[in-house]
Amino acid sequence: MSTSHKVHCLILPYPGQGHINSMLQFSKRLQSKRIKITIALTKSFLKNMKELPTSISIEAISDGYDDGGFHQARTFVAYIMRFKEVGSDTLSQLIQKLADSGCPVNCIVYDPFLPWAVEVAKNFGLISAAFFTQNCAVDNIYYHVHKGVIKLPPTKNNEEMLISGLSCTIESSDVPTFVINSEGPRILELMVNQFSNLDKVDWVLINSFYELEKEVIDWMSKIYPIKTIGPTILSMYLDKRLHDDKEYGLCIFKPMTNECLNWLNHQPISSVVYVSFGSLAKLEAEQMEELARGLRNSNKNFLWVVRSTEEPKLPKNFIEELKLTSGNNKGLVVSWCPQLQVLEHESIGCFLTHCGWNLTLEAISLGVPMVTMPQRSDQPTNAKLVKDVWEMGVRAKQDEKGIVRREVIEECIKLVMEEEKGKIIRENAKKWKELATNVVDEGGSSHKNIEEFVSKMVTISK
Ligand code: UDX
């Protein structure tokens, strides 16, 4: 190891877009404090990478599915099980290889979707930190399921429940879908397993910030050594203290950067609805049709990210119709965009989204008010917080068939973008942006936590 590095940290993300990028951005902050970083990624994920970051060292491990990764496995559960077996071995081999090459690892920062990493760390006598990519409220709910406090199914529809630590009461439609849906008791088991050996770790890092979730962070901190270190987005969009921090992340999709920015540059200030459902969500064709019509009826301009696998579900001739539109209600459909650049653009007035945590945190950090259409996983809880706790958005309600209708979409967009009732939402969005920037800047809560984490790592590793 170079003499300028005091500590070597091995980062182990779960191989999903949202998980890898937040851990990558966090790694850059550690690296700027002279911590040596190696990120361990699965061979299958690396194979699909369009571009690798040049500033950080990446090594391969195996999930047991080197050809197709998750898609090669029969089920998510089968994938996780095999990853545990093969991943433990290949991660151990990597740690040994790094030690043999004169670059021994001192600390493992792992994604708690892969709790077996703690055992690997213990076998090598390393310190360990769990890195939760979801927010503290969601972690708190899974913790209560783990403890058996939340009974399943949790409540009758619409019955309010109070969970210790949360700053608001929630209904069953607000809890992560894995807690209530048949889509899987086994998936819930994996979420809950994040806590199975959490008492053995030295730190629990959370991609959130104190000011956003004070109450639940204080509550969870009595149980675990929690440190909030977010928002983990590029420094150039927040505090601008990491010089030349332009590398976006690891992405399996290629952004249509020029098309998006050229188009946005021609739209008036705060006139555009940005629409994205992240890297995984799949909408039903009926929902795509309602969304398309709702956007058209809102009479606003819109930039809609529709991944190529989703595009066949768009209404017939929709893209062609857009090309013929002039005046208001112009639209651009792209397969992937440079989201931070888009959210930062002055033409954006509102973000219509499924509320995945990374993209929600990006909207908070860049001060963009939201219309939420949560689909699964932690998204309903994130949407609840956006609407009722942070008050920077509205939730577009589904009908009994689970579809959000065009009228609802149109109404929500108008409320957030132009109505007097939406003024407080627009103002709050600006307030959160300022706070998000402050927390990672010198002396801010996340900045202090990262400093403390680094200094303890250095002390323990001596
Ligand atoms: C998944 C889950 O769905 C989500 O519930 C969980 O909180 C995290 O993991 P995903 O659905 O992809 O993630 O959403 P999200 O976590 O928000 O991440 C999407 C990422 O892709 C964001 O960082 C966003 O900036 C990026 N993105 C999205 C782009 O860069 N360009 C795009 O066009 C769309």
Residue nearest atom 6 of ligand 1, based on CA coordinates: 356
Q: If you measure from the C-alpha of residue 276 to the centroid of ligand 1, how many angstroms do you get, rounded to a whole number?
A: 9
β-bridge partners, 303? 274, 332
200 Cα: distance to centroid of ligand 1 (angstroms) = 30
Tell how far the Cα of 354 is from the centroid of ligand 1, in angstroms.
9
* The ligand 1 atom nearest the CA atom of 17: 12
* Catalytic residue flag (residue 111): yes
Cβ count within 10 A of residue 317 = 9
Burial class (CB in 10 A: 0-12, 13-18, 19+), 145: buried
Contact between 344 and 433 under an 8 Å Cβ cutoff? The reply is no
Q: Give, for all 462 residues of the chain, the pLDDT tens digit.
A: 554 668 999 999 999 888 999 999 999 999 999 999 999 999 999 988 777 777 889 999 999 999 999 889 988 889 999 999 999 999 999 999 999 999 999 999 999 999 999 999 999 999 999 999 999 999 999 999 999 988 766 656 677 888 999 999 999 899 999 888 766 567 888 899 999 999 999 999 999 999 999 999 999 999 999 999 999 999 999 998 887 677 666 777 889 999 999 999 999 999 999 999 999 999 999 999 999 999 999 999 999 999 999 999 999 999 999 988 887 779 999 999 999 999 999 999 999 999 999 999 999 999 999 999 999 999 999 999 999 999 999 999 999 999 999 999 999 999 999 999 999 999 999 999 999 999 999 999 999 999 999 999 999 887
Atom of ligand 1 lying closest to residue 276 CA: 34
Ligand 1 centroid–CA 47 distance in Å is 20
Rounded to 5°, the CA angle 301-344-362 comes to: 105
Mutate to test the pocket of ligand 1, among 14, 17, 250, 360 (most ligand atoms within 8 A of CB): 17
CA angle 230, 236, 238 (to 5 degrees): 45
Which residues have any ligand 1 atom within 6 Å of their CB? 16-18, 21, 134, 276, 278-281, 305, 336-337, 339, 356-359, 362, 377-379
Catalytic residue check, 67: no
Q: Pick the atom of ligand 1 nearest to 16's CA.
A: 9
Question: Is 177 within 8 Å of 377 (Cβ atoms)?
Answer: yes
Report how far residue 50's alpha carbon sits from residue 53's, in angstroms, rounded to the nearest whole number: 10
Residue nearest atom 5 of ligand 1, based on CA coordinates: 356
Count the residues in the chain: 462
Closest CA to 110 of 93, 135, 123, 127: 127
Give one DSSP letter per residue of 151-167, joined into a string: -SS-SSTT--B--TT-S
Ligand 1 centre from 445 Cα, in Å? 25
Ligand 1, residues 45, 282, 354, 358: which to mutate, most atoms within 8 A of Cβ?
Answer: 358
Catalytic residue among 111, 139, 174, 245: 111
Flag whether the ipTM exceeds 0.90.
Answer: yes
Kindly state the DSSP code that residue 387 receives in the 8-state scheme.
I
